[in-house]
Copies of this chain bind each other. A is one copy, B any other.
Amino acid sequence: MKQYITHHDWQIIEDDFHDEHNRISESIFSIGNGRMGQRANFEEQFSGDSLKGSYVAGVYYPDKTRVGWWKNGYPEYFAKVLNSCNWIGIDVLVNGKALDLAKCEIRHFKRVLDMQKGFLQRNFTVQMPTGEVLHVEATRFCSLVDDESGAIRYSISCDFSGELTLSPYLDFDVVNEDSNYDEKFWEEVQRAVGNGEGYLTAATRKTDFHVCTGMQFAINKNGSTIQLDPTLTEREKYIANTIKIPVQASDQVVLYKYAANLSSENHAKDKLVENCKQVLHRITEKGFDAMLKEQASAWAERWRDSDIIIEGDVAAQQGIRFNIFQLHQTYTGEDERLNIGPKGFTGEKYGGSTYWDTEAYCLPFYLSTADERVAKNLLVYRYKHLQKAIENAEKLGFHSGAALYPMVTMNGEECHNEWEITFEEIHRNGAIAYAIYNYINYTGDYKYLSEYGLEVLIGIARFWAQRANYSNAKKAYVILGVTGPNEYENNVNNNWYTNYTAKKCLEYTLLVLDSIKEHSAERYTAIIEKTRLIEFEEQELWRDIIANMYFPVDEERGIFLQQDGFLDKEIEPVSLLPEIDQPLCQNWSWDRILRSCYIKQADVLQGLYFYEDDFDETTHRNNFDFYEPLTVHESSLSPCVHVVLAAKLGYYDKAYELYLRTARLDLDDYNNDTEDGCHITSMAGTWMAVVQGFGGMRVRDDQIHLNPFIPKQWSAYAFKIRFRGSVLNIRVEQGKVKVIHESGLPVGIVLNGQKNELFEGDEWVL
């Protein structure tokens, strides 16, 4: 845990340069707009520790799998989000010596991520080793309005006389640190460099994505534009303009650099350069200040819909806004081919691929804060991968249309390669089915089921039916050899969560089948034909499995057992673990973790969270009381679900403690890994912790249920939810709840058990 970020309502602030934490800051201060993203690397040269990262959405590299020992069925590659062209680079020479913060005396340094307006600004004053003093203010953003573009204002105030050399450049000669074989992934396609501009197109190896990155720039000195007479530099995958400017003390030189990243996912390859020029022309015309103003407006719109206000606790306020901000930077919901990588555009780790995180943790955020279309696009993404999921299951020996969605994917193919994950974390299939249920329950969009959802459900149901087997010893169906969401167990039998989610999926599929048969017979017939569902036999088997699924329990404690044999372990709470041993994943050998009772994220509790209404409160309480104390929350996805359950059970201190852990996970580097990038998908869990946890929001019977509590540290908090075309604004103060129906159709609301129907403009205080 590191606490060097200054608390502020709307800003993330680093007041001094913490070179030892530079990679962490680079992650935290990342900017993005859903199409492209940029770690907070410096524009000028920096010889200190840094993870360079410029990412373009949808552009990946299938890096040849690296394994200790090949296992049959492993995928050929592990997909990587690519470090793409460095478009921010501006080399700065002061009297011929490079400006490099690792080599100067830093007199002042401040870095601010303005979340309200959506830009990153760095101010610093340095003395060069050769004595010159200069002050720099560098401002940049990825534009939400022109979403293939970024802009930089790099302003230098000189306290010296002599020569300033500026070299804005584009560099495709970049690496991924996580390259399996230390390869470079880009090959140059073409380049052009001219006076004040340049274009560089490169193609990814194997996948042949093309990306054209362009730049245009202008320089003014003391307010007057300088006529450029640059030296042009070209080498493979690199172009630069170099301008020498004579300066005197108190001169101010400002460089505006406009850049665009266009990918062949969105443009014909042969039009890339042309279109890139057009984009650059457009934004350059607009100019930096106008763009920044548009950026602020666009962000204001997003905040209007999705802000959470926390009063009386700046750390909590900053935390939740940071999470919401990063989510918007990562995914806009406008492109159904895209999804939400666990690190978004803030780092390489986890490959920028799609995980079950999306369905289990991100969907609620988008359901409640964005147009229905956004959540639907996330579901359609999986629908479009159904055939690949069927093929994936076939590779593992399943048949007849059984679908196993990949644990990690870019294009629908599995691209992770540890057997205990790839082959055994089959619970992801459950989350994908649950997300369909969740979406329908929230939106009432039943049409989605017949159009898309049912086919996916049938594929998944078939998988469960083949994956479970009847145990003669137990006289019940068992699911052997799985890894649950608690990845601190591998290859266990009868993971309660997996068995339960399998049963629920079978139930829901049968329900949906019946409903569609009843309400849209024609479509039903079409789906039966398309999926070749053997109506009677397959459904009979599903019913048999539902009726006879085995669930491990401990009657004495009144709990579900995480898996067979869990109670053979030495059971001791985390509170007795020496702090020096934590996080376990960095201090204990893997086998020791596996055979210990410690839980990365409690999957029994995850199941209670998903299927809450199936269980009474005693069951919730018994299980929470047993499992939470054994949980080390070393998955970033862990705390949020525990907040929701703790809040429900009235464990408010626990809920608040875990909330802080999720909300400030990256800002305070709780898990000692923010340097790899921010935990984007778990950020949606933070939103969930506030709205579903503290707010107690649920959707049942087409109504919004609220059961708010407010942590004693806060004076008030407020959030908005979109629900079936309406917008509700909920404000909770100590002892008071106010619900305002801001717009849209009437909404049924159950507040602390009291029913009401609110119409546009209604305000309900309790």
Distance of A43 Cα from B465 Cα, bound (Å): 58
Given A66-B68, A68-B65, A68-B67, A73–B590 Cβ distance below 8 Å? Answer: yes
Distance of A589 Cα from B570 Cα, bound (Å): 33
Which B residues are in CB contact (< 8 Å) with A74? Answer: 590
Asked whether, in the complex, the Cβ of B567 is within 8 Å of the Cβ of A564, the reply is: no
* Proximity bits, A65-91, B CB within 8 Å = 1, else 0: 111110111100010000000000000
Asked whether, in the complex, the Cβ of B66 is within 8 Å of the Cβ of A588, the reply is: no
Q: Could you say which of B424, B470, B472 contacts A591, with CB atoms under 8 Å apart?
A: B424
Task: Pick out which of these stretches binds chain B: A19-27, A123-131, A272-280, A415-423.
Answer: A415-423
Distance of A589 Cα from B72 Cα, bound (Å): 5
Which B residues are in CB contact (< 8 Å) with A395? Answer: 589
Asked whether, in the complex, the Cβ of B567 is within 8 Å of the Cβ of A473, the reply is: yes
Q: Which of A433-481 contact B (CB under 8 A)?
A: 469-474, 478, 480-481
By beta carbon, the residue of chain B nearest A181 is B181
Distance of A592 Cα from B72 Cα, bound (Å): 10
By beta carbon, the residue of chain B nearest A473 is B567
Distance of A390 Cα from B490 Cα, bound (Å): 26
* Proximity bits, A180-209, B CB within 8 Å = 1, else 0: 011000000000000000000000000000
Which B residues are in CB contact (< 8 Å) with A491? Answer: 490-492, 594
Is A587 on the interface with B (CB-CB < 8 A)? Answer: yes
Which B residues are in CB contact (< 8 Å) with A529? Answer: none
Asked whether, in the complex, the Cβ of A480 is within 8 Å of the Cβ of B588, the reply is: no
Q: Which of A475-489 contact B (CB under 8 A)?
A: 478, 480-481
Q: Could you say which of B421, B474, B568 contacts A474, with CB atoms under 8 Å apart?
A: B568
Which B residues are in CB contact (< 8 Å) with A593? Answer: 72
Asked whether, in the complex, the Cβ of B587 is within 8 Å of the Cβ of A72, the reply is: yes
Distance of A423 Cα from B567 Cα, bound (Å): 22
Is A235 on the interface with B (CB-CB < 8 A)? Answer: no
Q: Could you say which of B72, B419, B590 contacts A72, with CB atoms under 8 Å apart?
A: B590
**Shortest Cβ distance from A167 into chain B, in angstroms?**
35
Distance of A19 Cα from B571 Cα, bound (Å): 60
**Shortest Cβ distance from A389 into chain B, in angstroms?**
15
Distance of A68 Cα from B180 Cα, bound (Å): 9
Q: How many chain copies?
A: 2
Asked whether, in the complex, the Cβ of B72 is within 8 Å of the Cβ of A586, the reply is: yes
Q: Which of A669-712 contact B (CB under 8 A)?
A: none
Q: Could you say which of B68, B396, B567 contacts A472, with CB atoms under 8 Å apart?
A: B567
**Shortest Cβ distance from A351 into chain B, in angstroms?**
11
Is A569 on the interface with B (CB-CB < 8 A)? Answer: yes
Q: Which of A561-581 contact B (CB under 8 A)?
A: 564-565, 567-571
Which B residues are in CB contact (< 8 Å) with A494? Answer: 568
Given A591-B419, A592-B396, A568–B478 Cβ distance below 8 Å? Answer: yes
Which B residues are in CB contact (< 8 Å) with A421? Answer: 69
**Shortest Cβ distance from A412 into chain B, in angstroms?**
18
Asked whether, in the complex, the Cβ of B397 is within 8 Å of the Cβ of A592, the reply is: yes
By beta carbon, the residue of chain B nearest A423 is B591
Asked whether, in the complex, the Cβ of B471 is within 8 Å of the Cβ of A589, the reply is: no
Q: Could you say which of B416, B571, B591 contacts A481, with CB atoms under 8 Å apart?
A: B591
**Shortest Cβ distance from A391 into chain B, in angstroms?**
13
Asked whether, in the complex, the Cβ of B589 is within 8 Å of the Cβ of A423, the reply is: yes
* Proximity bits, A584-612, B CB within 8 Å = 1, else 0: 01111111111100000000000000000
Is A636 on the interface with B (CB-CB < 8 A)? Answer: no
Given A68-B417, A565-B565, A73–B589 Cβ distance below 8 Å? Answer: yes
Chain A residues close to B by CB (< 8 Å): 65-69, 71-74, 78, 181-182, 395-397, 416-419, 421, 423-424, 469-474, 478, 480-481, 490-494, 564-565, 567-571, 585-595
Listed from nearest, the 5 A-B pairs whose CB atoms lie closest are A73-B589, A423-B591, A481-B595, A473-B567, A71-B590
**Contacts A/B (CB < 8 Å), 24 sampled:** A66-B66, A66-B68, A67-B67, A67-B68, A68-B416, A68-B417, A69-B418, A71-B590, A72-B588, A72-B593, A73-B589, A73-B591, A73-B592, A181-B182, A396-B592, A423-B589, A424-B591, A469-B595, A472-B567, A474-B568, A480-B569, A481-B594, A491-B492, A493-B568
